[in-house]
């Protein structure tokens, strides 16, 4: 039962990863300490076949043994690992280059995982999130991120407005995304380095976050439904930002 509590975010000293991509990319990450690895016979055979490096020998178990340690809807693909969390950089150590994403109290792990996956695809340098009102790094988030957890560092801060000011001091242009934004994001003069700030669905950006951003912009949509899921909005904003900064062809 202690394992279950850790998976649900009750402990900060162990992260439970499950599923092929989250586990195999963690295994391949030299900065990730693997404590235990559990695999079905088929998954263990595939690890060998695909020459996936394993720092610890997998313990062969039945699929239902893994399933019992996870929520009913978890798709584990025969792999589960107990790992240490990755070291999180301090905000003042971030390189003033490229794009950073800032999440203002986005709490859903599926949304944050999807944002993380998109962030990895666009080469985002870090994701900044608050210590409170944000999801813990669990298997659910890692599964939604499809392994991107190994590529994009999380920076956790106590005060988001202060963090935005620190990013400004490093030279970042801070652009908040909000449906009531004064400017259309497509016409904002974005520059390198860039911090894109996203708020929770429904609530949007908090007032202090809005006030601290250099620019607050909206995504204008041509259809009848004007708002997007926050992970889709992140993807669109990242494409516009990366394109403006010359990071994509």
Beta-carbon contacts of 201 under 8 Å, excluding residues fewer than 6 positions away, are: 106, 108, 111, 229, 230
Instruction: List the beta strands (DSSP E) in the chain.
Output: 15-18, 34-39, 59-60, 79-83, 99-104, 126-130, 154-157, 173-177, 183-184, 194-199, 215-218
pLDDT tens-digit series, residues 24-51:
999 999 999 999 999 999 999 999 999 9
CATH of domain 91-244: 3.40.1280.10
Instruction: List the beta strands (DSSP E) in 98-220.
Output: 99-104, 126-130, 154-157, 173-177, 183-184, 194-199, 215-218
Q: What letter does residue 2 receive in the DSSP assignment?
A: H
Which secondary-structure segment (H or E) carries 39? strand 34-39
- Write down the pTM of the prediction: 0.85
pLDDT tens-digit series, residues 74-130:
889 999 999 998 888 899 999 999 999 999 999 888 899 999 999 999 999 999 999
Beta-bridge partner residues of 126 = 100
Architecture of domain 2-83: 2-Layer Sandwich (3.30)
Could you give the C-alpha distances from 49 to 22, 42, 53, 147, in angstroms and in order? Answer: 18, 10, 11, 20
**How would residue 216 be classed by pLDDT, with cut points 50, 70 and 90?**
very high
Phi, psi of 169 (to 5 degrees): -60, -30
CB contact at 8 A, 153 and 127? yes
What's the CA gap between 228 and 240, in Å, rounded?
Answer: 15
List the chain domain ranges: 2-83, 91-244
pLDDT tens-digit series, residues 181-199:
999 999 999 999 999 999 9
Beta-carbon contacts of 120 under 8 Å, excluding residues fewer than 6 positions away, are: 145, 147, 148, 151, 152
Phi, psi of 226 (to 5 degrees): -95, -15
Examine domains 2-83 and 91-244 and report if their fold is the same. Answer: no
Q: What letter does residue 69 receive in the DSSP assignment?
A: T
Which secondary-structure segment (H or E) carries 119? helix 109-121
């Amino acid at each position: 039962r202690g394992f279950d509590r850790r998976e649900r975010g009750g402990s900060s000293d162990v992260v439970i990863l499950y599923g092929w991509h989250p586990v195999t990319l963690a295994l391949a990450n030299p900065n990730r300490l693997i404590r235990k690895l559990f695999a079905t016979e088929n998954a263990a055979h595939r690890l060998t076949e695909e020459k996936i490096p394993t720092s610890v020998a997998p313990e062969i178990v039945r699929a239902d043994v893994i399933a019992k340690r996870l929520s009913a809807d978890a798709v584990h693909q025969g792999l589960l690992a107990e790992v240490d969390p990755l070291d999180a950089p301090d905000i003042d150590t971030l390189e003033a280059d490229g794009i950073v994403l800032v999440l203002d109290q986005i709490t859903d792990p599926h949304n944050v995982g999807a944002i993380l996956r998109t962030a990895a695809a666009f080469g985002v340098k870090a994701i900044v999130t608050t210590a409170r009102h944000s999801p813990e790094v669990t298997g659910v988030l890692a599964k939604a991120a499809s392994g991107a957890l190994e590529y994009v560092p999380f920076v956790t801060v106590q005060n988001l407005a202060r963090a935005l000011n620190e990013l400004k001091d490093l030279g970042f242009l801070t652009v908040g995304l909000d449906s009531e934004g004064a400017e259309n994001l497509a016409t904002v003069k974005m520059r390198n380095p860039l911090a894109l700030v996203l708020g929770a669905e429904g609530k949007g950006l908090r007032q202090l976050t809005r006030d601290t951003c250099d620019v607050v912009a909206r995504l204008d949509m041509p259809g009848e439904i004007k708002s997007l899921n926050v992970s889709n909005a992140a993807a669109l904003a990242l494409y516009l930002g990366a394109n403006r900064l010359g990071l994509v062809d």
